[in-house]
Amino acid sequence: MQTPPRKVYLDNSATTRVDPEVVQIILPYFTELYGNASSTHQWGQRAKQAMEEARHQVAQFINATATEIVFTSGGTEADNLAIKGIAEAHAGKGKHIITSQFEHPAVLNSCKHLESLGWNVTYLPVYREGIVRPADIETAITDETVLISVMHVNNELGTIQPIKQIGDLVKARRAAGHKHLHLHTDAVQSVGKIPVDVRDLGVDLLSLSGHKIHAPKGVGALFVRRGVRLQAQSHGGHHERDRRAGTESVPLVVALGKACELERLHLQEFITRVGNLRDGLEAEIITRIPNVSRNGDTECRVPHISNFNFDHCEGEGLMIALDLKGIAVSTGSACASGSIEPSHVLTAIGLDHENGRGTLRFSLGKETTQEELDYLIETLPVVVEKLRRISPKAGVRH
C-alpha cells in the first residue's frame, strides 16, 4: 500500500490553526458563561468582564489603551469602518484619500465605493520592490486629503511598508495646520509577526484580524486613537462606545484577547526561529531549481512570507500538484482565489502576465518544522520540472 502524503501547511497568511490554549479558554463562554455583555445581571457582567480583559490584552499587544480598541468581525470590517468612518466624519474638510495600488481588497473596494460617491482617491505605485515611497505620499497630499491608508505588511509579498515615516510626515502636516489628516494602516499581516506599536508608528487607526494569529475566524479589532472622530457604519445599540453596533461575540472576543497575549509572549521566538526556517527554504529553492526569482524586497519584510516566481510554470498548476502531495501553499491572497489572472499585487510591482501567473507564496507559521520544509524541498523541484516539461513553452531552455 502506498504511503499517504504528508500534511504540510504553508499557507498561514491565509489563515492559521486555532491555538489549543485559545480553544480551551473560550469553551466555557459557549456553555456556562453565556451571558450578554450588555446585560446588568451577573451573567452579563461576567461576560462583560471577560470582554474587557480581552480588550486590555489586545491593547497591550499594540501599545494602545483599552478604550481605543473596537471589536469587529475581522480585518475587512475593521478596514471598512476605518476608511468609510473617517471619510463620513470629515467630508466637510475634504474628499481626498491616498492609498497604494496593492492594498487588500477591503481597502481598495472601500476606496472605490467612496469614488462612486464623488471622492477623489490617489493610488500610489509600489515599484518592483513592493514598497510605498513616503516622498510619493508627501507629493500626493493636498489640502483636501483627510485619510492616508497604507498597509503595514503586504499579504502576498511580505514587504514592510514605511508606516513610521509616513506617520512622521502626517504629524508634521498636522503641526503645520492640516488638522483633519489621518493615517490608517491595515496590520492584519504584521500583528503577531513583527513588533507593532501604534504610538511608535504614529497611526490614527489600525486594523487586525484574529484568524491570522491563531484565534478563530470572525473576530478582529480596529484601533482608533483617542480623540479621532469616526462615523459608525452599522446602526443599532450603543455597543463599542457607539462605534460598532451589534451584540459582541464574547467567545470570539475572549479568543482574540488570549491569542494576542500568547503572540506577545512568544513574538521574538517566532521572529528568530521562523525567519531562519524561511531563509533556509529560500536558499534551497534557489540552489535546486533553475530560473526562479523572489518577488519583493528581500530585506524589508516579515520573517514568514516568501514569494517566488517559477519561470515557464503556472502557479495554479504548481499549487494543485503540491496539494496532491499533501503540501498547502497559495498563488497569492486567499481573497482572490479562483482567478486565473495575476493578482493586482504582482501587477503593481511590474510583473507581466506570464511571470505573474507563475508565482507561489509560502507562508510559514509558528508550528512549521524543518522536517516539513525538507519534504517540500524534496517535492518541489520534481513538480516544477514535470510541469515545465509539459508547458506550452517547453521548448524554452530552462
Could you tell me the residue range of the domain that residue 133 belongs to? 20-262
**What CATH number did the domain enclosing 79 receive?**
3.40.640.10
Helix (H, G, I), strand (E, B) or coil at 294: strand
301 secondary structure, DSSP code: B
Whether the predicted pLDDT of 336 surpasses 60: no
Q: What are the residue ranges of helices labelled H in 91-144? A: 105-116, 134-140
User: Distance (Å, rounded) from C-alpha 126 to C-alpha 110?
Assistant: 19
Residue 355 confidence (pLDDT) above 80: no
pLDDT in tens, 196-243: 999 999 999 999 999 999 999 999 999 999 999 999 998 888 898 878
In a domain, residue 378? The reply is yes
**Could you list the active site residues?**
335
All 3 cell numbers of residue 114? Answer: 467612496
Angle between helices 250-288 and 370-389 (to 10 degrees): 60
**Predicted pLDDT at 41:** 94
pLDDT value, residue 398: 38
Spatial distance between the Cα atoms of 115 and 196, rounded to a whole number of angstroms: 31
Mean pLDDT of 120-131: 96
Segment 243-297, tens digit of pLDDT: 898 989 999 999 999 999 999 999 999 999 999 999 999 999 999 999 999 999 9
250 and 276 part of one domain: no
Chain-centroid distance of CA 356 in Å reads 21
In this prediction, residue 335 has a pLDDT band, given cuts at 50, 70 and 90, of low
Q: Is residue 397 part of a domain?
A: no
Question: Averaged over 319-346, what is the pLDDT?
Answer: 79
Q: Is residue 270 part of a domain?
A: yes
Does one domain contain both 363 and 288?
yes
Do residues 138 and 248 share a domain? yes
Q: In the predicted model, what is the mean pLDDT of residues 302-320?
A: 95
- Same structural domain for residues 219 and 367? no
Is pLDDT above 80 for 356? no
Question: What's the domain count of the chain?
Answer: 2
Domain assignment present for 140: yes
The last residue of one of the domains, among 247, 262, 277, is 262
Cβ proximity of 90 and 121 under 8 Å: no
Assign residue 294 the CATH number of its domain: 3.90.1150.10
Q: Output phi, psi for 46, to 5 deg.
A: -65, -40
Closest CA to 128 of 90, 98, 101: 101
Residues in Cβ contact with 95 at an 8 Å cutoff, skipping those fewer than 6 apart: 87, 118, 119, 120, 144, 146
- What per-residue string of b and e applies to 271-298 under the rule 16 or more CB within 10 Å gives b? bebbbebbeebbebbeeebeebeebbbe
> Binning pLDDT at 50, 70 and 90, where does residue 390 land?
confident
Indicate the pairing of strand 292-294 with strand 305-310.
antiparallel
Among 262, 287, 313, the domain boundary falls at 262
Percent of the chain with pLDDT over 90: 84
Look at strands 220-224 and 292-294 and give their pairing.
Answer: unpaired
Separation of alpha carbons 273 and 369, rounded Å: 10
In a domain, residue 3? The reply is no
Last residue of a domain, one of 262, 284, 303: 262
